[in-house]
Chains A and B, each alone.
Chain A
Amino acid sequence: MVKKGLERIYLGLILLFLYAPIFTLMIFSFNDSKSRAKWGGFTLKWYQSMFNDPIIVKSLYYTLTIALISAVIATVIGTAAAIGIQAMSRKRRETIMNVTYLPVLNADIVTGIAFMLFFIGIGLKLGFSTMLLAHITFNIPYVILSVLPKLRSMNKYTYEAALDLGATSIMAVRKVILPEIAPNIITGFLLAFTLSLDDFVISYFTAGNGVSNLSITIYTMTRRGIKPEINAISTIMFMAILILLLTINKRREKAVRKEKY
Protein backbone atom coordinates (compact mmCIF):
# COMPACT_ATOMS: atom_id res chain seq x y z
CA MET A 1 0.00 0.00 0.00
CA VAL A 2 2.81 2.38 0.94
CA LYS A 3 4.64 1.40 -2.20
CA LYS A 4 1.58 2.18 -4.31
CA GLY A 5 1.31 5.59 -2.68
CA LEU A 6 4.96 6.39 -3.28
CA GLU A 7 4.63 5.31 -6.89
CA ARG A 8 1.67 7.61 -7.40
CA ILE A 9 3.51 10.55 -5.85
CA TYR A 10 6.52 9.93 -8.05
CA LEU A 11 4.40 9.72 -11.21
CA GLY A 12 2.59 12.89 -10.14
CA LEU A 13 5.83 14.82 -9.60
CA ILE A 14 7.24 13.80 -12.97
CA LEU A 15 3.97 14.71 -14.68
CA LEU A 16 4.09 18.09 -12.99
CA PHE A 17 7.66 18.59 -14.18
CA LEU A 18 6.74 17.60 -17.73
CA TYR A 19 3.48 19.47 -18.11
CA ALA A 20 3.72 22.53 -15.87
CA PRO A 21 5.82 24.49 -18.39
CA ILE A 22 3.54 23.62 -21.32
CA PHE A 23 0.33 24.38 -19.46
CA THR A 24 1.77 27.63 -18.17
CA LEU A 25 2.31 28.77 -21.74
CA MET A 26 -1.18 27.67 -22.69
CA ILE A 27 -2.81 29.47 -19.76
CA PHE A 28 -0.89 32.67 -20.41
CA SER A 29 -2.00 32.62 -24.04
CA PHE A 30 -5.39 33.72 -22.68
CA ASN A 31 -3.94 36.37 -20.37
CA ASP A 32 -4.98 39.93 -21.11
CA SER A 33 -1.89 41.35 -19.44
CA LYS A 34 1.40 41.15 -21.27
CA SER A 35 3.24 40.45 -18.03
CA ARG A 36 3.62 36.87 -16.97
CA ALA A 37 3.60 37.76 -13.31
CA LYS A 38 -0.08 38.64 -13.10
CA TRP A 39 -3.38 37.61 -14.54
CA GLY A 40 -5.16 40.44 -16.38
CA GLY A 41 -8.34 38.63 -17.35
CA PHE A 42 -9.36 36.31 -20.16
CA THR A 43 -8.71 37.34 -23.74
CA LEU A 44 -8.34 35.91 -27.22
CA LYS A 45 -6.46 38.91 -28.56
CA TRP A 46 -3.10 37.10 -28.81
CA TYR A 47 -4.70 34.57 -31.12
CA GLN A 48 -6.07 37.41 -33.17
CA SER A 49 -2.77 39.24 -33.38
CA MET A 50 -1.02 35.96 -34.16
CA PHE A 51 -3.23 35.38 -37.18
CA ASN A 52 -2.75 39.00 -38.21
CA ASP A 53 1.02 38.82 -38.01
CA PRO A 54 2.19 38.32 -41.60
CA ILE A 55 5.47 36.71 -40.54
CA ILE A 56 3.76 34.09 -38.39
CA VAL A 57 1.13 33.35 -41.01
CA LYS A 58 3.75 33.03 -43.72
CA SER A 59 5.92 30.70 -41.68
CA LEU A 60 2.86 28.64 -40.79
CA TYR A 61 2.18 28.36 -44.51
CA TYR A 62 5.78 27.27 -45.19
CA THR A 63 5.74 24.80 -42.32
CA LEU A 64 2.56 23.09 -43.50
CA THR A 65 3.47 23.13 -47.20
CA ILE A 66 6.91 21.67 -46.58
CA ALA A 67 5.58 19.09 -44.13
CA LEU A 68 2.93 17.96 -46.59
CA ILE A 69 5.08 17.87 -49.74
CA SER A 70 8.09 16.33 -48.01
CA ALA A 71 5.96 13.70 -46.30
CA VAL A 72 4.26 12.73 -49.58
CA ILE A 73 7.52 12.46 -51.54
CA ALA A 74 9.32 10.70 -48.69
CA THR A 75 6.45 8.21 -48.41
CA VAL A 76 6.59 7.37 -52.11
CA ILE A 77 10.38 7.03 -52.27
CA GLY A 78 10.59 5.34 -48.88
CA THR A 79 7.88 2.78 -49.54
CA ALA A 80 9.33 1.84 -52.91
CA ALA A 81 12.77 1.64 -51.30
CA ALA A 82 11.53 -0.62 -48.51
CA ILE A 83 9.94 -3.04 -51.00
CA GLY A 84 13.14 -3.07 -53.05
CA ILE A 85 15.44 -3.41 -50.05
CA GLN A 86 13.42 -6.33 -48.73
CA ALA A 87 14.04 -8.19 -52.01
CA MET A 88 17.80 -7.62 -51.89
CA SER A 89 20.53 -9.93 -50.73
CA ARG A 90 21.41 -9.67 -47.06
CA LYS A 91 24.73 -7.95 -47.60
CA ARG A 92 23.40 -5.19 -49.84
CA ARG A 93 20.42 -4.73 -47.59
CA GLU A 94 22.67 -4.18 -44.59
CA THR A 95 24.86 -1.69 -46.44
CA ILE A 96 21.85 0.37 -47.47
CA MET A 97 20.31 0.21 -44.02
CA ASN A 98 23.55 1.39 -42.41
CA VAL A 99 23.50 4.51 -44.56
CA THR A 100 19.77 4.90 -43.89
CA TYR A 101 20.48 5.04 -40.17
CA LEU A 102 23.05 7.84 -40.62
CA PRO A 103 20.66 10.81 -40.65
CA VAL A 104 18.57 9.19 -37.90
CA LEU A 105 21.53 8.74 -35.58
CA ASN A 106 23.72 11.68 -36.51
CA ALA A 107 23.47 14.96 -34.64
CA ASP A 108 20.98 17.32 -36.26
CA ILE A 109 23.51 20.12 -36.35
CA VAL A 110 25.96 17.98 -38.33
CA THR A 111 23.23 16.90 -40.75
CA GLY A 112 22.09 20.50 -41.12
CA ILE A 113 25.57 21.80 -41.83
CA ALA A 114 26.28 18.96 -44.27
CA PHE A 115 23.16 19.98 -46.21
CA MET A 116 24.11 23.63 -46.15
CA LEU A 117 27.62 23.00 -47.49
CA PHE A 118 26.24 20.64 -50.10
CA PHE A 119 23.52 22.98 -51.39
CA ILE A 120 25.86 25.93 -51.55
CA GLY A 121 28.51 23.70 -53.12
CA ILE A 122 26.25 22.65 -55.99
CA GLY A 123 25.13 26.23 -56.47
CA LEU A 124 21.60 26.05 -55.11
CA LYS A 125 20.42 29.19 -53.38
CA LEU A 126 19.23 28.44 -49.86
CA GLY A 127 15.48 28.81 -49.63
CA PHE A 128 12.24 26.91 -49.96
CA SER A 129 13.55 24.21 -52.29
CA THR A 130 16.68 23.43 -50.26
CA MET A 131 14.65 23.18 -47.09
CA LEU A 132 12.22 20.89 -48.87
CA LEU A 133 15.02 18.63 -50.17
CA ALA A 134 16.51 18.42 -46.68
CA HIS A 135 13.15 17.54 -45.15
CA ILE A 136 12.48 14.84 -47.73
CA THR A 137 15.89 13.36 -47.00
CA PHE A 138 15.54 13.15 -43.25
CA ASN A 139 11.97 11.86 -43.59
CA ILE A 140 12.70 8.92 -45.91
CA PRO A 141 14.47 6.78 -43.28
CA TYR A 142 11.47 7.02 -40.95
CA VAL A 143 9.14 5.84 -43.70
CA ILE A 144 11.46 2.93 -44.50
CA LEU A 145 11.69 2.03 -40.82
CA SER A 146 7.87 2.05 -40.54
CA VAL A 147 7.30 -0.11 -43.61
CA LEU A 148 10.20 -2.57 -43.52
CA PRO A 149 9.21 -4.55 -40.38
CA LYS A 150 5.79 -5.28 -41.88
CA LEU A 151 7.35 -6.44 -45.15
CA ARG A 152 9.60 -8.75 -43.19
CA SER A 153 6.73 -10.35 -41.32
CA MET A 154 4.63 -10.78 -44.48
CA ASN A 155 4.21 -14.09 -46.21
CA LYS A 156 6.63 -13.75 -49.12
CA TYR A 157 5.07 -16.57 -51.12
CA THR A 158 1.91 -14.65 -51.87
CA TYR A 159 3.96 -12.34 -54.08
CA GLU A 160 5.54 -15.28 -55.86
CA ALA A 161 2.15 -16.94 -56.21
CA ALA A 162 0.85 -13.81 -57.91
CA LEU A 163 3.77 -13.95 -60.36
CA ASP A 164 3.15 -17.63 -61.04
CA LEU A 165 -0.48 -16.88 -61.74
CA GLY A 166 0.58 -14.48 -64.46
CA ALA A 167 0.78 -11.11 -62.75
CA THR A 168 3.52 -8.74 -63.83
CA SER A 169 5.76 -7.64 -61.00
CA ILE A 170 4.23 -4.16 -61.01
CA MET A 171 0.78 -5.69 -60.73
CA ALA A 172 1.89 -8.05 -57.98
CA VAL A 173 3.38 -5.18 -55.97
CA ARG A 174 0.23 -3.14 -56.43
CA LYS A 175 -2.33 -5.86 -55.77
CA VAL A 176 -0.53 -8.05 -53.25
CA ILE A 177 2.10 -6.10 -51.35
CA LEU A 178 0.69 -2.57 -51.18
CA PRO A 179 -2.69 -3.45 -49.65
CA GLU A 180 -0.99 -5.36 -46.91
CA ILE A 181 1.49 -2.67 -45.93
CA ALA A 182 -0.97 0.21 -46.38
CA PRO A 183 -1.44 0.86 -42.63
CA ASN A 184 2.33 1.08 -42.16
CA ILE A 185 2.68 3.42 -45.12
CA ILE A 186 0.12 5.75 -43.56
CA THR A 187 1.85 5.59 -40.19
CA GLY A 188 5.15 6.37 -41.91
CA PHE A 189 3.55 9.30 -43.68
CA LEU A 190 2.12 10.73 -40.45
CA LEU A 191 5.44 10.26 -38.70
CA ALA A 192 7.27 12.06 -41.50
CA PHE A 193 4.70 14.85 -41.46
CA THR A 194 5.04 15.32 -37.71
CA LEU A 195 8.84 15.27 -37.78
CA SER A 196 8.93 17.85 -40.54
CA LEU A 197 6.45 20.02 -38.66
CA ASP A 198 8.64 19.93 -35.59
CA ASP A 199 12.08 20.36 -37.13
CA PHE A 200 14.22 23.30 -36.22
CA VAL A 201 17.96 22.63 -36.52
CA ILE A 202 18.07 21.25 -40.05
CA SER A 203 15.62 23.88 -41.30
CA TYR A 204 17.68 26.60 -39.63
CA PHE A 205 20.74 25.74 -41.70
CA THR A 206 18.96 25.05 -44.98
CA ALA A 207 16.29 27.75 -45.14
CA GLY A 208 18.50 30.75 -45.83
CA ASN A 209 17.18 34.28 -45.60
CA GLY A 210 13.60 35.14 -46.27
CA VAL A 211 12.13 31.69 -45.85
CA SER A 212 11.37 30.43 -42.39
CA ASN A 213 9.19 27.80 -40.82
CA LEU A 214 7.42 28.17 -37.49
CA SER A 215 10.35 26.85 -35.47
CA ILE A 216 12.73 29.36 -37.01
CA THR A 217 10.24 32.18 -36.46
CA ILE A 218 9.78 31.19 -32.84
CA TYR A 219 13.56 31.10 -32.40
CA THR A 220 13.94 34.58 -33.86
CA MET A 221 11.09 35.87 -31.71
CA THR A 222 12.43 34.40 -28.48
CA ARG A 223 15.84 35.90 -29.11
CA ARG A 224 14.28 39.33 -29.53
CA GLY A 225 12.43 39.13 -26.25
CA ILE A 226 9.15 37.68 -25.22
CA LYS A 227 5.97 37.97 -27.21
CA PRO A 228 2.63 36.67 -25.96
CA GLU A 229 1.81 35.52 -29.49
CA ILE A 230 4.27 32.69 -28.93
CA ASN A 231 2.00 31.39 -26.17
CA ALA A 232 -0.89 31.29 -28.60
CA ILE A 233 1.24 29.38 -31.12
CA SER A 234 2.16 26.92 -28.35
CA THR A 235 -1.44 26.15 -27.55
CA ILE A 236 -2.37 25.60 -31.17
CA MET A 237 0.68 23.46 -31.91
CA PHE A 238 0.18 21.37 -28.80
CA MET A 239 -3.42 20.65 -29.77
CA ALA A 240 -2.42 19.86 -33.35
CA ILE A 241 0.30 17.42 -32.28
CA LEU A 242 -2.03 15.84 -29.74
CA ILE A 243 -4.67 15.16 -32.40
CA LEU A 244 -2.07 13.84 -34.86
CA LEU A 245 -0.56 11.47 -32.31
CA LEU A 246 -3.92 10.22 -31.10
CA THR A 247 -4.74 9.40 -34.73
CA ILE A 248 -1.47 7.52 -35.19
CA ASN A 249 -1.99 5.64 -31.94
CA LYS A 250 -5.55 4.68 -32.81
CA ARG A 251 -4.39 3.33 -36.15
CA ARG A 252 -1.73 1.30 -34.39
CA GLU A 253 -4.10 -0.19 -31.87
CA LYS A 254 -6.48 -1.11 -34.66
CA ALA A 255 -3.65 -2.75 -36.59
CA VAL A 256 -2.56 -4.71 -33.53
CA ARG A 257 -6.11 -5.86 -32.86
CA LYS A 258 -6.53 -6.92 -36.47
CA GLU A 259 -3.40 -9.00 -36.31
CA LYS A 260 -4.64 -10.76 -33.20
CA TYR A 261 -7.70 -12.16 -34.91
Chain B
Amino acid sequence: MNRRWLAYPYVVWMIAFILVPLFMIFYYGVTKDDGGQIVFTAEFIKKTFEPIYFNAMAKSFLYAGFATLICLVLAYPLALILAGKAGKSSAMLFIFILPMWMNFLLRTYAWLTLLETNNGVVNTLLRLLHLPSINILGTPNAIILGMVYNFLPFMVLPIYNTLVKIDPYILEAAHDLGADSFQRLIRVVFPLSLPGVMSGITMVFMPAVTSFVIPNLLGSGKVNLIGNLIEQQFLMTYNWGFGSAMSLILMIIILLAMGLMKRFDKGNLEGGAGRW
Protein backbone atom coordinates (compact mmCIF):
# COMPACT_ATOMS: atom_id res chain seq x y z
CA MET B 1 0.00 0.00 0.00
CA ASN B 2 1.36 3.34 -0.95
CA ARG B 3 0.54 6.94 -0.20
CA ARG B 4 0.30 7.66 -3.90
CA TRP B 5 -3.26 6.35 -4.12
CA LEU B 6 -4.32 9.34 -2.06
CA ALA B 7 -3.84 11.48 -5.16
CA TYR B 8 -5.96 9.27 -7.42
CA PRO B 9 -9.35 10.80 -6.58
CA TYR B 10 -7.89 14.17 -7.46
CA VAL B 11 -6.38 12.86 -10.70
CA VAL B 12 -9.79 11.57 -11.76
CA TRP B 13 -11.39 14.86 -10.71
CA MET B 14 -8.75 16.82 -12.57
CA ILE B 15 -9.24 14.92 -15.81
CA ALA B 16 -13.02 15.17 -15.59
CA PHE B 17 -13.35 18.78 -14.50
CA ILE B 18 -10.23 20.52 -15.77
CA LEU B 19 -9.03 18.73 -18.88
CA VAL B 20 -12.32 17.58 -20.40
CA PRO B 21 -13.98 21.03 -20.09
CA LEU B 22 -10.99 22.68 -21.75
CA PHE B 23 -11.20 20.12 -24.50
CA MET B 24 -14.86 21.04 -24.96
CA ILE B 25 -13.85 24.59 -25.85
CA PHE B 26 -11.47 23.22 -28.43
CA TYR B 27 -14.16 20.88 -29.74
CA TYR B 28 -16.82 23.58 -30.09
CA GLY B 29 -14.31 25.99 -31.61
CA VAL B 30 -13.30 23.79 -34.52
CA THR B 31 -16.41 21.76 -35.33
CA LYS B 32 -19.91 22.47 -36.51
CA ASP B 33 -23.12 20.57 -37.00
CA ASP B 34 -23.52 20.12 -40.73
CA GLY B 35 -26.97 18.61 -41.23
CA GLY B 36 -26.71 16.23 -38.31
CA GLN B 37 -23.09 15.44 -38.98
CA ILE B 38 -20.28 16.92 -36.95
CA VAL B 39 -17.58 18.20 -39.26
CA PHE B 40 -14.31 19.99 -38.78
CA THR B 41 -14.38 23.68 -39.63
CA ALA B 42 -12.04 26.65 -39.50
CA GLU B 43 -14.98 29.01 -39.97
CA PHE B 44 -15.15 30.23 -36.37
CA ILE B 45 -11.43 30.71 -36.04
CA LYS B 46 -11.43 32.73 -39.28
CA LYS B 47 -14.36 34.81 -38.11
CA THR B 48 -12.34 35.89 -35.08
CA PHE B 49 -10.03 37.73 -37.46
CA GLU B 50 -12.79 39.71 -39.17
CA PRO B 51 -12.25 43.44 -38.66
CA ILE B 52 -14.92 44.12 -36.01
CA TYR B 53 -13.82 41.24 -33.83
CA PHE B 54 -10.16 41.68 -34.49
CA ASN B 55 -10.45 45.37 -33.60
CA ALA B 56 -12.18 44.52 -30.34
CA MET B 57 -9.35 42.17 -29.57
CA ALA B 58 -6.76 44.78 -30.47
CA LYS B 59 -8.58 47.31 -28.29
CA SER B 60 -8.62 44.87 -25.37
CA PHE B 61 -4.88 44.41 -25.67
CA LEU B 62 -4.33 48.15 -25.98
CA TYR B 63 -6.39 49.09 -22.92
CA ALA B 64 -5.05 46.22 -20.86
CA GLY B 65 -1.55 47.20 -21.96
CA PHE B 66 -2.06 50.79 -20.84
CA ALA B 67 -3.52 49.66 -17.54
CA THR B 68 -0.57 47.31 -17.00
CA LEU B 69 1.91 50.08 -17.74
CA ILE B 70 0.20 52.47 -15.31
CA CYS B 71 0.11 49.74 -12.67
CA LEU B 72 3.82 49.12 -13.13
CA VAL B 73 4.68 52.81 -12.84
CA LEU B 74 2.55 53.16 -9.71
CA ALA B 75 3.50 49.85 -8.14
CA TYR B 76 7.27 49.84 -8.50
CA PRO B 77 7.97 52.82 -6.21
CA LEU B 78 5.32 51.55 -3.83
CA ALA B 79 6.95 48.11 -3.67
CA LEU B 80 10.35 49.74 -3.15
CA ILE B 81 9.08 51.81 -0.23
CA LEU B 82 7.26 48.88 1.32
CA ALA B 83 10.25 46.58 0.89
CA GLY B 84 12.38 49.19 2.65
CA LYS B 85 10.06 48.91 5.63
CA ALA B 86 9.76 45.14 5.44
CA GLY B 87 11.63 44.47 8.66
CA LYS B 88 9.26 46.59 10.70
CA SER B 89 5.89 45.17 9.86
CA SER B 90 4.04 43.00 7.42
CA ALA B 91 0.98 44.97 8.49
CA MET B 92 1.94 47.72 6.05
CA LEU B 93 1.83 45.32 3.12
CA PHE B 94 -1.42 43.87 4.40
CA ILE B 95 -3.07 47.30 4.24
CA PHE B 96 -2.08 47.72 0.62
CA ILE B 97 -3.16 44.23 -0.38
CA LEU B 98 -6.44 44.15 1.51
CA PRO B 99 -8.60 45.96 -1.09
CA MET B 100 -8.07 43.20 -3.64
CA TRP B 101 -9.96 40.81 -1.38
CA MET B 102 -12.98 43.05 -1.44
CA ASN B 103 -15.55 41.71 -3.84
CA PHE B 104 -14.47 42.56 -7.37
CA LEU B 105 -17.92 43.75 -8.41
CA LEU B 106 -18.28 46.00 -5.42
CA ARG B 107 -14.91 47.58 -6.12
CA THR B 108 -15.94 48.31 -9.69
CA TYR B 109 -19.37 49.49 -8.60
CA ALA B 110 -17.69 51.87 -6.15
CA TRP B 111 -16.16 53.74 -9.08
CA LEU B 112 -19.54 53.92 -10.72
CA THR B 113 -20.74 55.74 -7.63
CA LEU B 114 -17.74 58.04 -7.64
CA LEU B 115 -17.70 58.89 -11.32
CA GLU B 116 -21.38 59.38 -12.10
CA THR B 117 -21.83 62.55 -14.13
CA ASN B 118 -24.50 64.38 -12.13
CA ASN B 119 -24.69 62.74 -8.76
CA GLY B 120 -21.23 61.25 -8.52
CA VAL B 121 -19.11 61.97 -5.49
CA VAL B 122 -16.15 63.22 -7.53
CA ASN B 123 -18.20 65.72 -9.48
CA THR B 124 -20.06 66.89 -6.37
CA LEU B 125 -16.72 67.63 -4.74
CA LEU B 126 -15.42 69.35 -7.87
CA ARG B 127 -18.53 71.51 -8.02
CA LEU B 128 -18.09 72.50 -4.39
CA LEU B 129 -14.60 73.66 -5.27
CA HIS B 130 -15.92 75.42 -8.39
CA LEU B 131 -13.83 73.22 -10.63
CA PRO B 132 -14.99 71.82 -13.98
CA SER B 133 -16.57 68.40 -13.67
CA ILE B 134 -15.23 65.30 -15.39
CA ASN B 135 -17.30 62.93 -17.48
CA ILE B 136 -15.30 59.84 -18.20
CA LEU B 137 -17.93 57.22 -17.55
CA GLY B 138 -18.57 55.30 -20.77
CA THR B 139 -15.14 56.06 -22.19
CA PRO B 140 -11.97 53.97 -22.45
CA ASN B 141 -10.46 56.14 -19.72
CA ALA B 142 -12.97 54.87 -17.20
CA ILE B 143 -12.26 51.29 -18.24
CA ILE B 144 -8.51 51.75 -17.87
CA LEU B 145 -9.04 53.43 -14.50
CA GLY B 146 -11.16 50.49 -13.38
CA MET B 147 -8.49 48.04 -14.49
CA VAL B 148 -5.73 49.93 -12.70
CA TYR B 149 -7.79 50.14 -9.53
CA ASN B 150 -8.78 46.50 -9.52
CA PHE B 151 -5.45 44.96 -10.44
CA LEU B 152 -2.86 47.27 -8.86
CA PRO B 153 -2.25 44.93 -5.89
CA PHE B 154 -1.44 42.09 -8.32
CA MET B 155 1.51 44.19 -9.51
CA VAL B 156 2.67 45.31 -6.07
CA LEU B 157 2.80 41.85 -4.54
CA PRO B 158 5.20 39.97 -6.86
CA ILE B 159 7.54 42.97 -7.15
CA TYR B 160 7.58 43.35 -3.38
CA ASN B 161 8.31 39.63 -3.00
CA THR B 162 11.39 39.78 -5.21
CA LEU B 163 12.61 43.03 -3.67
CA VAL B 164 12.61 41.75 -0.10
CA LYS B 165 14.61 38.71 -1.19
CA ILE B 166 17.50 40.79 -2.55
CA ASP B 167 20.59 40.16 -0.45
CA PRO B 168 21.52 43.44 1.32
CA TYR B 169 25.21 42.63 0.90
CA ILE B 170 24.85 42.94 -2.86
CA LEU B 171 23.62 46.48 -2.36
CA GLU B 172 26.50 47.20 0.00
CA ALA B 173 28.94 45.80 -2.53
CA ALA B 174 27.49 48.08 -5.22
CA HIS B 175 27.89 50.99 -2.84
CA ASP B 176 31.48 50.09 -2.02
CA LEU B 177 32.26 49.85 -5.70
CA GLY B 178 31.16 53.46 -6.09
CA ALA B 179 27.58 53.27 -7.32
CA ASP B 180 25.34 56.08 -6.15
CA SER B 181 21.81 55.26 -5.08
CA PHE B 182 20.32 55.93 -8.52
CA GLN B 183 22.85 53.71 -10.30
CA ARG B 184 22.28 51.07 -7.69
CA LEU B 185 18.55 51.14 -8.38
CA ILE B 186 18.87 50.99 -12.16
CA ARG B 187 21.76 48.55 -12.48
CA VAL B 188 21.39 46.30 -9.46
CA VAL B 189 17.95 46.39 -7.88
CA PHE B 190 15.85 46.61 -11.03
CA PRO B 191 17.50 43.71 -12.90
CA LEU B 192 17.22 41.56 -9.78
CA SER B 193 13.53 42.36 -9.46
CA LEU B 194 12.73 41.50 -13.09
CA PRO B 195 11.13 38.13 -12.27
CA GLY B 196 8.68 39.95 -10.00
CA VAL B 197 8.03 42.58 -12.65
CA MET B 198 7.33 39.89 -15.23
CA SER B 199 4.91 38.00 -13.05
CA GLY B 200 3.29 41.28 -12.03
CA ILE B 201 2.77 42.15 -15.68
CA THR B 202 1.12 38.82 -16.42
CA MET B 203 -1.00 38.95 -13.30
CA VAL B 204 -2.37 42.38 -14.25
CA PHE B 205 -2.54 41.99 -17.99
CA MET B 206 -4.31 38.63 -17.95
CA PRO B 207 -7.41 39.55 -15.96
CA ALA B 208 -7.48 43.01 -17.56
CA VAL B 209 -7.49 41.74 -21.12
CA THR B 210 -10.28 39.23 -20.45
CA SER B 211 -12.49 41.34 -18.21
CA PHE B 212 -16.06 41.92 -19.30
CA VAL B 213 -17.40 43.34 -16.05
CA ILE B 214 -15.30 46.50 -16.10
CA PRO B 215 -16.26 47.47 -19.68
CA ASN B 216 -19.89 46.66 -18.94
CA LEU B 217 -20.10 48.77 -15.79
CA LEU B 218 -17.62 51.60 -16.28
CA GLY B 219 -17.81 51.64 -20.07
CA SER B 220 -21.62 51.78 -19.73
CA GLY B 221 -21.77 48.96 -22.27
CA LYS B 222 -20.59 51.31 -25.01
CA VAL B 223 -17.17 49.74 -25.37
CA ASN B 224 -16.93 46.09 -26.33
CA LEU B 225 -13.78 44.23 -25.43
CA ILE B 226 -13.04 40.60 -26.20
CA GLY B 227 -14.45 39.48 -22.86
CA ASN B 228 -17.77 41.15 -23.72
CA LEU B 229 -17.85 39.51 -27.14
CA ILE B 230 -17.24 36.09 -25.65
CA GLU B 231 -19.90 36.65 -23.00
CA GLN B 232 -22.40 37.76 -25.65
CA GLN B 233 -21.80 34.67 -27.81
CA PHE B 234 -22.72 32.45 -24.91
CA LEU B 235 -25.44 34.36 -23.11
CA MET B 236 -27.10 36.41 -25.84
CA THR B 237 -26.58 35.24 -29.41
CA TYR B 238 -25.88 31.61 -28.50
CA ASN B 239 -23.17 31.22 -31.09
CA TRP B 240 -21.17 28.78 -29.01
CA GLY B 241 -18.82 27.80 -31.80
CA PHE B 242 -17.68 31.35 -32.36
CA GLY B 243 -17.48 32.07 -28.63
CA SER B 244 -15.37 28.95 -28.15
CA ALA B 245 -13.07 29.91 -31.01
CA MET B 246 -12.45 33.31 -29.42
CA SER B 247 -11.87 31.71 -26.02
CA LEU B 248 -9.51 29.23 -27.64
CA ILE B 249 -7.43 31.97 -29.22
CA LEU B 250 -7.42 33.89 -25.97
CA MET B 251 -6.31 30.78 -24.10
CA ILE B 252 -3.50 30.10 -26.57
CA ILE B 253 -2.23 33.65 -26.19
CA ILE B 254 -2.38 33.34 -22.42
CA LEU B 255 -0.54 30.02 -22.33
CA LEU B 256 2.14 31.37 -24.70
CA ALA B 257 2.57 34.39 -22.46
CA MET B 258 2.83 32.08 -19.46
CA GLY B 259 5.49 30.01 -21.17
CA LEU B 260 7.41 33.18 -21.91
CA MET B 261 7.04 34.35 -18.34
CA LYS B 262 8.19 31.04 -16.94
CA ARG B 263 11.54 31.56 -18.61
CA PHE B 264 12.00 34.68 -16.53
CA ASP B 265 10.50 33.28 -13.42
CA LYS B 266 11.82 29.80 -12.90
CA GLY B 267 10.31 27.93 -10.00
CA ASN B 268 8.70 31.03 -8.62
CA LEU B 269 5.21 30.37 -9.91
CA GLU B 270 3.83 29.57 -6.49
CA GLY B 271 4.54 33.07 -5.25
CA GLY B 272 2.87 34.50 -8.31
CA ALA B 273 -0.13 32.24 -8.30
CA GLY B 274 -1.29 32.72 -4.74
CA ARG B 275 -2.85 36.09 -4.15
CA TRP B 276 -0.60 36.82 -1.20
Contact = CB atoms under 8 A, between A and B. Distances in A.
Interface of A: 7, 10-11, 14-15, 17-22, 24-25, 28, 35-38, 77-78, 80-88, 96, 99-111, 113-118, 121, 133-134, 136-137, 140, 142, 144-146, 149, 159, 168-170, 173, 191, 194, 198, 200-201, 205, 214-215, 218-219, 222-223, 226, 230, 233-234, 237-238, 241-242, 245, 249, 253
Nearest to A38: B124
Interface of B: 1-11, 13-14, 17-22, 24-25, 28, 74, 77-78, 81, 84, 90, 94-96, 98-99, 101-107, 109-114, 116, 118-121, 124, 149, 152, 206-207, 209-210, 212-213, 216-217, 227, 230-231, 234, 240, 243-244, 247, 250-251, 254, 258, 269-270, 273-274
Give chain A's interface secondary structure class: helix
A107 B14 CA distance: 17
A67 to B, nearest CB: 12
21 contacts: A11-B78, A20-B114, A28-B113, A36-B116, A36-B119, A37-B118, A80-B7, A84-B4, A86-B3, A107-B207, A109-B250, A110-B210, A115-B17, A116-B234, A145-B270, A146-B274, A215-B103, A219-B213, A230-B106, A238-B106, A245-B98
Nearest to A242: B98
Contact of B149 (A17, A80, A109): A17
A134 B104 CA distance: 19
Given A96-B14, A109-B210, A114-B22, 19 more contacts: A10-B78, A36-B120, A37-B119, A81-B7, A83-B7, A84-B7, A106-B251, A109-B231, A114-B24, A114-B247, A121-B24, A140-B10, A146-B274, A200-B104, A226-B113, A230-B106, A233-B106, A234-B102, A238-B106
Nearest to A159: B3
A117 B99 contact: no
A240 to B, nearest CB: 10
A28 to B, nearest CB: 7
Nearest to A77: B10
Contact of A99 (B3, B18, B274): B18
Given A113-B230, A233-B106, A249-B94, A81 B9 contact: yes
Contact of A218 (B101, B103, B210): B103
